[in-house]
Structure 1
């Protein structure tokens, strides 16, 4: 009976690393409006 317990524990680990790459996507959106503000001030 104690043998089938460790089996379902393995497939649960690979599910965590998937949601990680979703955070770095929204980061490049903030640096875009930065250069626009600097240019307007110089004019």
Structure 2
């Protein structure tokens, strides 16, 4: 049975929602400086 446009739209919306959730997590981590204090970040030895 061929997929309908509704199925394609549902798959697209599902994927978009997953991407939006990932982006929201990245924004939250970025706002928290990825868990590092900006004053502690330096070019010292790794």
TM-score (norm 1): 0.43
Point out the structure with max Rg over C-alpha: 1
TM-score, with structure 2 as normaliser: 0.41
More helix as a share of residues: 2
